[in-house]
Chain A
């Protein structure tokens, strides 16, 4: 592999990894706090992508407005799922997981209904549409922008979780629910805001990721699967775990596609199984 190809794959892997990170961070924190896999997470991502497309391309409005509205819409849908359904199945973990699976079906099919099955090509803000030319390498600006946004969001989330009172409450909730509630903390409210924030970030990722992935009907499941692997590999409940896992999976995906295109998917699932067996708490996750 030539140096140019190496750099290109590195950047591809990092930018894809950052989108995965945005998705996986929410999955991971929800899993840590509420003990459930939100299988509808990828569907929220996809719905936000469609909403972003409608605003930015169909209506021709500002791209960043599209990002914001897509994220808000996903956040509201997530809030609805949590308030209307998940909360009422308190402590029935199996039922909660199955419920989110049901919502994956519902949201995927509803968006197919509204937006039809046509593939939506990647879209972005006009200022970001071009490419950098460095030496022999031509590289789209959006990929750099996504890497930078990913790093900013990751730092922000890390600060929120590790350095603020809110983060301390969430971490306490992950470690010991009864004790946290005993201290007078309304864990129900905390779960609600965590779920809302996770859904909001998934929606944000949906429009951000659409800049190079586009939007299509199977996107929800296509993004959910690698995001689940990221959470398993990185470890649940921490931002740094999700970031580490996402970058690792992003790079494996990019280099795997370049070097052994047949085996890319296989390698990821195999890695996930090995990690689950050897270190179920993930490479940098919280102890369970």
Chain B
């Protein structure tokens, strides 16, 4: 629904109906704000990681779900953002957030500028392969270039939490969580705006029938190029936050395994929906955390199993079933008709 439609709905419907309708968002927000302090520190870390990957997955869905571009190279944007922070710390001793974050976003987007130019020259199964090859190319660069590695090892470690420039301020797990939450909410809102803009509609048009959009005079190449750059910037944000939080980055963060994470989150949660990737990220991170307590070795097996079962038996993802359930509850108890 567009902003105008949203305002229209809000004007027409009584507030009870609106409350039920937007309750999932409101409850979700309340949960994100209130719940984490009640958990132990490791679990607060899982909340943080969940939000970081929710940003990554939401942006990936703009390319995969909305535009139909199946890319195996999005980890390169994530890693580019992360490496920016790590290199700034390693070689220049800069830890300021106000330099690091914008630069990380810029580098993520610039990587996407280069990738998009190359990858969009080919179609279909070849797009998949070329994004994969580009991802692996950045992986081998990060592996081999000495400048991108802490001396004596692969990857860069010892990156501190960002310096906000506020005197007397020091980070704790929970304050970093709230910092990530603010950035997540900003990104979530931006993704929502992009999804519901005319640009977002034409992206879905490209997914459903590119020749038709082209014959209507749309520059479909430019649309696809722009969305790759936009997702690159968001992935850069996620990469920056990830490196701040874990204090390290390794070449594997650029490779195919990292591209797999947002993919499975989007598919599990439900692609082309606003909440789907966020739900997917939550399920994967929390199930992953508890699975890694009980059977750390079997986690990839569980992950692969979840993936296969979702694709086969719940192709719409979790979100569709949740929203159907919600709607049915609403119809039964609140006589909401939508």
- Give A contacts to B, CB under 8 Å: 31, 35-37, 85, 88-89, 93-95, 97-99, 101-106, 108-110, 112-113, 221, 225, 228-229, 232, 262-263, 265-266, 269-270, 272-273, 276-277, 280
List 18 A-B pairs, Cβ < 8 Å: A31-B125, A37-B125, A37-B128, A93-B124, A95-B315, A102-B304, A102-B311, A103-B304, A105-B303, A106-B300, A109-B297, A109-B304, A110-B301, A228-B132, A265-B136, A266-B141, A276-B121, A280-B122
Q: By the criterion CB–CB under 8 Å, are B126 and A276 in contact?
A: yes
A270 vs B139: C-alpha distance when bound (angstroms): 12
Q: By the criterion CB–CB under 8 Å, are B122 and A265 in contact?
A: no
Identify the closest chain A residue to B307 (Cβ): A102
| A101 partner, pick from B124, B298, B307, beta carbons under 8 A | B307
The answer to whether residues A105 and B304 also contact, given A228-B129, A273-B118 and a CB cut-off of 8 A, is yes
Q: By the criterion CB–CB under 8 Å, are B118 and A277 in contact?
A: yes
Residues of B within 8 A of A262 (CB): 144
Q: By the criterion CB–CB under 8 Å, are B121 and A277 in contact?
A: yes
| B307 partner, pick from A31, A105, A225, A272, beta carbons under 8 A | A105
Residues of A within 8 A of B137 (CB): 266, 269-270, 273
B308 within 8 A of A: yes
A37 vs B304: C-alpha distance when bound (angstroms): 17
Residues of A within 8 A of B260 (CB): 101
B121, B124, B133, B136 pick with most chain A CB within 10 angstroms: B133
Residues of B within 8 A of A280 (CB): 122, 126
The answer to whether residues A37 and B308 also contact, given A98-B267, A110-B301 and a CB cut-off of 8 A, is no
Q: By the criterion CB–CB under 8 Å, are A265 and B140 in contact?
A: yes
| B298 partner, pick from A88, A98, A113, A232, beta carbons under 8 A | A113
> Interface digits, B109-132 against A, CB 8 Å rule (1 contact, 0 not)?
000000000100110111011101
What's the nearest-Cβ distance from chain B to residue A3, in Å? 30
Residues of B within 8 A of A93 (CB): 124-125
Q: By the criterion CB–CB under 8 Å, are B300 and A108 in contact?
A: yes
Q: By the criterion CB–CB under 8 Å, are B129 and A113 in contact?
A: no
The answer to whether residues A99 and B308 also contact, given A112-B297, A269-B133, A269-B136 and a CB cut-off of 8 A, is yes
A103, A221, A272 pick with most chain B CB within 10 angstroms: A272
Identify the closest chain A residue to B137 (Cβ): A269
A265 vs B141: C-alpha distance when bound (angstroms): 10
Q: How many residues of B contact A (CB 8 A)?
A: 36
The answer to whether residues A113 and B307 also contact, given A98-B263, A276-B126, A280-B122 and a CB cut-off of 8 A, is no
Q: By the criterion CB–CB under 8 Å, are B128 and A88 in contact?
A: no
A112 vs B296: C-alpha distance when bound (angstroms): 12
Identify the closest chain A residue to B306 (Cβ): A102
> Interface digits, B129-171 against A, CB 8 Å rule (1 contact, 0 not)?
1101110110011011000000000000000000000000000
What's the nearest-Cβ distance from chain B to residue A270, in Å? 7
Residues of A within 8 A of B293 (CB): none
A23 vs B109: C-alpha distance when bound (angstroms): 36
What's the nearest-Cβ distance from chain B to residue A102, in Å? 4
Residues of A within 8 A of B298 (CB): 109, 113
B129, B263, B267 pick with most chain A CB within 10 angstroms: B129
> Interface digits, B241-262 against A, CB 8 Å rule (1 contact, 0 not)?
0000000000000001000100
| B308 partner, pick from A85, A109, A225, A270, beta carbons under 8 A | A85
Residues of B within 8 A of A265 (CB): 136, 140, 143
A229 vs B126: C-alpha distance when bound (angstroms): 11
Residues of A within 8 A of B143 (CB): 265
Residues of B within 8 A of A31 (CB): 125
Residues of B within 8 A of A266 (CB): 137, 140-141, 144
Residues of A within 8 A of B130 (CB): 272-273, 276-277
A103 vs B305: C-alpha distance when bound (angstroms): 8
Residues of A within 8 A of B308 (CB): 85, 99, 102-103, 106
What's the nearest-Cβ distance from chain A to residue B10, in Å? 36
The answer to whether residues A276 and B122 also contact, given A109-B300, A262-B144 and a CB cut-off of 8 A, is yes
B4 within 8 A of A: no
Q: By the criterion CB–CB under 8 Å, are A272 and B133 in contact?
A: yes
The answer to whether residues A97 and B297 also contact, given A88-B312, A273-B118, A280-B126 and a CB cut-off of 8 A, is no
Identify the closest chain A residue to B259 (Cβ): A101
| B301 partner, pick from A105, A229, A270, beta carbons under 8 A | A105
Residues of A within 8 A of B121 (CB): 276-277
The answer to whether residues A273 and B144 also contact, given A95-B311, A105-B307, A108-B300 and a CB cut-off of 8 A, is no
